[in-house]
Amino acid sequence: MSRLKLFAFPYAGGSSSIYNGLRPLLDDQIEFIPVELAGRGRRIGEDLYPDLNAAVDDLYKIVSPQIGFSQFAFFGHSMGSLLAHQLAKRLKEELGVSPSHIFFSGRGALQMNIEKEKKYHQMSEQQFKDEVLLLGGTPPEFFQHPELLELFLPLLRNDFRIAETAPSIDGFNKEGVDITVFTGREDDHTEEQIAGWNDYTTGSCEIHTFEGGHFFIHQEMDAIARIINSTIDQLVIK
């Protein structure tokens, strides 16, 4: 049986370990590859990315040698969706290859370039802490350990800076790459931003809405895995 490589990219502040709960739920035909970004996890000693281009350069060096002639797909949540898009664009430009499918999660349609009122990376230290706590995804107990915050907050702020200062996204996927979108009903994306994914590609676009806010994926891993498995089952050549 053929296998498909599924590369997963984390949200701001996240390491590859955020997808540990997803791995055992995926079918055997999926070779799951959560990608570790610089400055976290097993790469914690490495310098943080100065900008989005540097992040994509790094991801290209990691992912491109692993593709070969195999089918592959991308999954990204929030900032990870931006990284998945940019890397897919780079692979098309440099190697002439595209993922068989992209799963975008926790993000409004990239090409709409909606300006957000909140700029997390420009906030004062206390406001930044307060807003991160409101976002969820980070246990409140975490903020009771200054030594952890000293490591984590600069990384998180840098990730927000990369995402919030990214250049305007031009349309990709006019080649017709099929996409699946996951969104939380209580997230701060508008209906227009979510519906905009239909214009992102000339391929198919399926949108799945779950209960919960921005970090709904942690409560919905089972359902997300079922959708991924079903989608990839149709892609893999047996």
Based on the residue annotation, tell me whether 2 is a catalytic residue of this protein: no
* d(C-alpha 73, C-alpha 2), whole Å: 14
Q: What is the DSSP letter of 185?
A: T
- From the candidates 15, 78, 100, 105, which is the catalytic residue? 78
12 exposure class (CB count in 10 Å sphere: 0-12, 13-18, 19+): buried
Q: CA 63, 66, 72 angle in degrees (round to 5)?
A: 80
Cβ atoms within 10 A of the Cβ of 194, count? Answer: 17
195 exposure class (CB count in 10 Å sphere: 0-12, 13-18, 19+): middle
Distance, C-alpha 82 to centroid of its chain: 6
Beta bridge partners of residue 6, listed in sequence order: 32, 73
In 3D, which of 164, 131, 135, 196 has the Cα closest to residue 52?
164
Question: Rg of the chain's alpha carbons, rounded to an integer?
Answer: 17
Tokens (6 digits) for 229: 């498995």
Return the active site residues: 78
